[in-house]
Amino acid sequence: MVTTPAYTPPVTRATFRRAVMMAGVATLIAVGVLLALGYGLFGLFLVVGVALGTLNMWLAVRAVASFASNRPSRARFSGSVLGRLAVITVLALGCAWLFRPAGIAVFGGLALFQFFAIVSSLLPLIKEIRQK
């Protein structure tokens, strides 16, 4: 069964795009610094963490849009959220454990992306509050 993609509001797409761009710039700077200091593997895993954060946000946006259009049960929606977070957590823990000590930078990348996702979500809200 082929379904059409759910509608995603422009502000959501802009927020996602802004978060990816800010995290990308910060990651490039951080990787440059890490490479200059001789910690290239840490930089690689920082990129992996940012990529996982980007994947998580993209999947979350799709899940919310799908939930809004298809109206599945809350239990199914909650299960998909928990499943997605579990997979990302297992991947991050696997990297941290298998490639220690540099693998721990995956969590730094996840945190870096989450920070920029929150900042990019707040920008439209601040703009709206200032207009009122």
The answer to which of 14-18, 32-36, 63-67 has the lowest mean pLDDT is: 63-67
- Rounded distance between C-alpha atoms, residue 54 and residue 26, angstroms: 14
Give the mean pLDDT of 94-100: 96
Task: Work out the pLDDT band at 37, boundaries 50, 70, 90.
Answer: very high
**pLDDT given at position 3:** 53
Please list, in sequence order, all residues whose beta carbon lies within 8 angstroms of the beta carbon of residue 88, skipping any fewer than 6 positions away.
52, 55, 56, 110
Task: Work out the pLDDT band at 6, boundaries 50, 70, 90.
Answer: low
